Amino acid sequence: MNAWLRQHRYALGITLRRMLAQPFSSAANLLVMALALALPILGAAILVSVQPLARQVSVAPELTVFTRLNAPAGSAEAIATRIRKEFDAQISNVRVIGREAALTELRQNPAWSDALAVLPSNPLPDAVVATLRDGEGLAGIANDLAATWKTWDQVEQVQLDSQWVQRLEALLRFGRIGLIFVAASVAMVVLATVFNTVRMQALSQREEIAVARLVGATESFVRRPFLYLGAVSGAVAALLAIGVAGLALTPLNEAMLSLARSYGADFAIHLPGLPWLVTAVIASGVLAALSARWSVKRSTRF
């Protein structure tokens, strides 16, 4: 166990000394990878921050159940009670709008007051307005509920405005897919950068590797420092990328502040949570180590 730890400590020390021996080259490679990795981090920050705000700014997803004009008194209250009991998991709030209250509200609108004044009776039915709970797949849930409630007694029509929900979900889905493509492109950049860095490092140390093999060094001993080079480069680049993304959020938040205030919202873009960032650093290090392993196996066959 001690020998294994000494070998890895030696490989890590060699890696750090080689990086410090070429500070400009190492810094340039880390900067390229950091700038590339900052793009998906910023994309994730914007997506995570916008998702709850979009639901706050948008109109709450509601379904309106209209009763029949000849429905018995109390039918709307009975429907509201049934919705609360049977669909509590999907519905956050239910309220009843009586026909007289609806008519009074319409008469206060100048566009409708003249037309309603000539009507002999109230043409409006009682209505039950149900607000959906926040969650995923709201458009599908709204459609299913509307289809079910239309079959109930004394229900004339169920109206839902699910277009905005569908647009919102499509936009967020587009953002997630776009972020995946950006992350995949950045992964290719990291792979190529680490591959070429390790390849050049291995070729520049051909004689040292040859001598090490002559004195009995194993392949794992020869290649281990290059694997650490890839892993350290990937992890450090990810940490730098988080710092770059954090710095970039300051001007972005300043630019978004006036727009958010115009909607009466307090909005700020923030980085994803710590577990997500730690996962990103580890994934970057592992990806870079795999690229280094592939490169060193191809570049040390001499």
| Per-state percent for the chain, helix, strand, coil, to nearest 5 | 70, 10, 20
How far CA 245 is from CA of 36, 113, 272, in Å, comes to 11, 55, 11
Q: How far apart are CA 142 and CA 260, in angstroms?
A: 29
- The strand ranges marked E within 127-216 are 127-132, 155-160
Predicted local distance difference test score (pLDDT) of residue 252: 80
As a whole number of angstroms, the distance between CA 122 and CA 102 comes to: 10
Q: Output the pLDDT for position 240.
A: 92
What is the predicted pLDDT for the residue at 58?
A: 47
pLDDT attached to residue 106: 65
| Block mean pLDDT (10 aa), the chain, length 302 | 67 74 81 86 80 55 82 85 85 83 69 63 79 74 84 84 64 78 81 80 69 67 79 89 88 74 68 88 88 77 52
Cα distances from 89 to residues 26, 60, 93, 135, in angstroms, run 55, 16, 11, 11
The per-residue pLDDT of the chain, averaged, comes to 77
* Domains, the chain, with CATH or none: 2-56+167-299 (no CATH), 61-160 (3.30.70.3040)
Count of other CB atoms within 10 angstroms of residue 209: 19
